[in-house]
Amino acid sequence: MILTPESIQLIREKAARYPRAKSAILPALTIAYRQVGHLSNEIYEEISEAIGVPALEVAEAATFYTMFPKQPTGKYLIQVCHNISCSLLGADSLIKYLEDKLDIKKGETTADNLFTLISVECLGSCATAPMMQINHDYYENLTPEKVDEILERLRKES
Amino acid sequence: MTFYSPVITNAREAESNEKLHLFRYVEDPDQPRIDTFEAHGGYVAWKKVLSSMSPSEVIDEVKASGIRGRGGAGFPTGVKWSFVPKDSPKPKYLICNADESEPGTCKDRVLMERDPHSVIEGMAIASYAIGCHLMFIYIRGEFGHSAVMMEKAMNEAYAKGHLGKNIHGSGYDLDMIVHTGGGAYICGEETALLNSLEGERGMSRIRPPFPAIAGLYACPTIVNNVESLATVPFVINRGADWYKSLGTEKSPGTKIFSLSGHVNRPGNYEVELGFSLKKLIYDPEYGNGISGGRKLKGVIPGGSSTPFLTPEMIDVGLDYESLQEAGSMLGSGAVIVFNEDTCIVWASLKLSHFYRHESCGKCTPCREGTGWLEKIIGRIEAGQGRPGDVERIEEICGNILGRTVCPLGDAAVMPIQSAIKHWRDEWQYHIENKKCLVKSEFGF
Ligand SMILES: Cc1cc2nc3c(=O)[nH]c(=O)nc-3n(C[C@H](O)[C@H](O)[C@H](O)COP(=O)(O)O)c2cc1C
Ligand code: SF4
Ligand code: FES
């Protein structure tokens, strides 16, 4: 089992509230993603088991949604918004800055498996641009100093 | 934990100006707590509706207020509610659309994180009006904090008896589910949202049937934007006439505008509809002018799906009619400001990349067309444009516009068409000289 009994319990509770269990697929994927950090076929099977929906249907839905990584990532998934408002305020240079700092290219993971860097579409934080999301948290109004501080803190925490 | 987005709001102005209401308490860190919300007049409208109004009276009041949907299409809210068949034996559903993914838009998140009960109260009143006993809020997956705040507020509302069985002795039952999505722009489109909420891939449905007749689980369903619903309690408390006295005759009320891009004070500002776009950008209390002492190049007034305006066109009221007359749209109210250092091809590439990425793939003009647009604009930006590329783009746009299952296709096309219309010389320059006329190199 990949999902913990707590996660399964949460998924079951969620599913019980909906008129149809299938509606709980996305919330279940979210719970799984928060626990594991990415999704996989085994996880679809376990969700299928928990809510009584065919695993194929879980997989079908899951593969539509780009927010959930389907492969393991570094401990911290850095998602920089590269959409229009953020680009006007330097998203391209932010990505470049992170590439240099982490010594990886966009799409790659650092050798110590700590950071994965990707760019994503608008995260609804456009008036506090440029911004990035690391795992589940938003970091907004970014400056080079702030980015340094954040990376420093995450390195220490790990 | 109280969490809120660090975005600037004009809450201080809203506190002193009786006409503004949505933002009155959003800077109060205690507002998400139910006691504070109630001390500020919260759930009074809900109790009034339950104790003294029939569902059709609620619909009539909202209709009379003239409020129009704030999610982008601007459809009159009360009229939409009246489409729900009263005699249908099927359950009815209300869904609050909190997918907020139109680039430039960041207002619903502020309401959810800083005044979540106002959203719940509006949802409850709307549910009562259409005869719904189970309501949903569909929050985009990345808004984890918004979901936490909404969930917490929901639990408080249950504990205080504003939700649940036999609410305040009225005999009316209402339950709520906080649902989180998976980060897809298309799931903001109401029929794709329905599929997504059913656990399917988030692809749009062909209409008719409209959701009001056959929506979630093929039952009558109303989908409304967060801001539309948060407005409803004020209409009930203060009356349709008060609401109509705000804004313009055809666009009554206030609206939150998300101001982003090259301005000195980006933020969310609640203003009466009809407010001057120029003032929003230049007034020291709002945008405070173009950042870095640069000049204005253009503005997108209603989110990335709406056509550009040039500097000569910004002396315009921010309301549905005036913006349409000016050749653009109010959309979601996301005002994106571009300074003179922005290459229009570069900006168009950012937009077309987004729409290609977010196309659900159901219909050919959008699926294929958005790909071609990105490819051709991409090669122009890369200095490999060919003679005739601008005309090719225009032809593809013409083949997408009005020929798709959902409005995402149109949304992908309209800003590009306007970018060519207003700055055709710049596109030609780019193709002929294999480089930008102005280079967009923005630091952070
Ligand atoms: C591609 C696309 C994305 C949309 N995204 C959103 C959204 O994120 N939030 C929203 O409220 N409406 C969105 N809409 C509009 C909805 O389809 C729908 O009209 C709206 O939620 C209705 O609520 P309203 O009448 O209160 O505006 C989108 C529409 C399209 C075509
Ligand atoms: S227009 Fe695009 S997003 Fe809409 S249904 Fe067609 S392919 Fe899907
Ligand atoms: S454009 Fe970056 S958050 Fe919206």
Q: Relative to the alpha carbon of B261, which ligand is closest?
A: 3
What does the pLDDT read at residue B439? 83
pLDDT digits (tens, 9 = 90+) for B320-354: 999 999 999 999 999 999 999 999 999 999 999 99
Burial class of residue B40 (count of CB atoms within 10 Å of its CB; 0-12, 13-18, 19+): middle
Q: Determine the average pLDDT of the residues in B365-392.
A: 97
Q: Determine the average pLDDT of the residues in A73-102.
A: 98
Taking an 8 Å cut-off on Cβ atoms, the answer to whether A127 and B91 are in contact is no
Taking an 8 Å cut-off on Cβ atoms, the answer to whether A129 and B201 are in contact is no
User: What's the sign of the alpha-carbon dihedral A30, A34, A37, A43?
Assistant: negative
What does the pLDDT read at residue B1? 44
Q: Which CATH class is domain A5-64?
A: mainly alpha
For domain A76-157, is the CATH number 3.40.30.10? yes
What is the H or E stretch that residue B255 is in? strand B254-261
User: Do A5-64 and A76-157 share a fold?
Assistant: no
Q: Determine the average pLDDT of the residues in B407-436.
A: 97
B2 has a pLDDT exceeding 70: no
3-state helix/strand/coil string of B262-303: CECCCEEEEEECCEEHHHHHHCCCCCCCEHHHCCEEEEECCC
Test the A interface: residue of B108, B134, B142 with most A CBs within 10 Å: B142
Ligand 2 atom with the smallest distance to the CA of B361 is 7
Where does the pLDDT of residue B4 fall: very low under 50, low under 70, confident under 90, or very high at 90 and above?
confident
Pick the range with the lowest mean pLDDT from A79-83, A88-92, B3-7, B342-346.
B3-7
Sheet holding B334-339, edge to edge: B267-272, B254-261, B334-339, B296-300
User: What is the nearest CA distance from A108 to chain B, expressed in angstroms?
Assistant: 20
Q: Determine the average pLDDT of the residues in B203-227.
A: 97
What does the pLDDT read at residue B136? 98
Q: Name the CA radius of gyration of chain A, rounded.
A: 17
CA of B158 to the centre of ligand 2 (A): 38
What's the mean pLDDT when you consider all of chain B? 97
Q: Please name the residue of chain A whose CA is at the shortest distance from the CA of residue B92.
A: A19
pLDDT digits (tens, 9 = 90+) for A13-59: 999 999 999 999 999 999 999 999 999 999 999 999 999 999 999 99
Of the candidates B273, B243, B245, B246, which has an alpha carbon nearest to the alpha carbon of residue B257?
B273
Q: For residue B10, what are its two tokens?
A: 């004009």
Q: Determine the average pLDDT of the residues in B345-369.
A: 97
Ligand 1 atom with the smallest distance to the CA of B185 is 3
Which pTM value belongs to this model? 0.98
Residues of chain B found within 8 Å of residue A123, distances taken between Cβ atoms: 142
- Alpha-carbon distance of A82 to B345, in angstroms, equals 16
What does the pLDDT read at residue B3? 62
Test the B interface: residue of A31, A98, A126, A141 with most B CBs within 10 Å: A126
Kindly give, in sequence order, each residue whose CB lies less than 8 Å from that of residue A16, ignoring residues fewer than 6 positions away.
Answer: none
Of the candidates B307, B300, B305, B323, which has an alpha carbon nearest to the alpha carbon of residue B409?
B305
Taking an 8 Å cut-off on Cβ atoms, the answer to whether A93 and B443 are in contact is yes
CA B99 distance to own-chain centroid:
9
Ligand 3 atom with the smallest distance to the CA of B104 is 4
Pocket test for ligand 1, best of B93, B106, B190, B196 (most atoms within 8 A of CB): B190
Q: Determine the average pLDDT of the residues in A128-154.
A: 97
Residues of chain A found within 8 Å of residue B442, distances taken between Cβ atoms: 87-90, 92-93
Of the candidates A140, A4, A139, A1, which has an alpha carbon nearest to the alpha carbon of residue A76?
A139
Nearest CB partner across the interface for A128, out of B7, B91, B440: B7
Kindly give, in sequence order, each residue whose CB lies less than 8 Å from that of residue B250, ignoring residues fewer than 6 positions away.
Answer: B66, B319, B320, B321
What does the pLDDT read at residue A158? 87
Where does the pLDDT of residue A112 fall: very low under 50, low under 70, confident under 90, or very high at 90 and above?
very high
pLDDT digits (tens, 9 = 90+) for B272-297: 999 999 999 999 999 999 999 999 99
B241 has a pLDDT exceeding 50: yes
Pick the range with the lowest mean pLDDT from A128-137, B202-211, B433-442.
B433-442
CA of B91 to the centre of ligand 2 (A): 29
- Which residues does ligand 2 sit against, CB inside 6 Å? B 186, 204, 359-363, 366-367, 404-406, 408-409
A109 has a pLDDT exceeding 80: yes
B101 lines ligand 1 (CB under 6 A): yes
Nearest CA to ligand 1 atom 20: B71
Q: Relative to the alpha carbon of A86, which ligand is closest?
A: 3
CA of B110 to the centre of ligand 1 (A): 17
What does the pLDDT read at residue A14? 95
Annotated domain spans of chain A: 5-64, 76-157
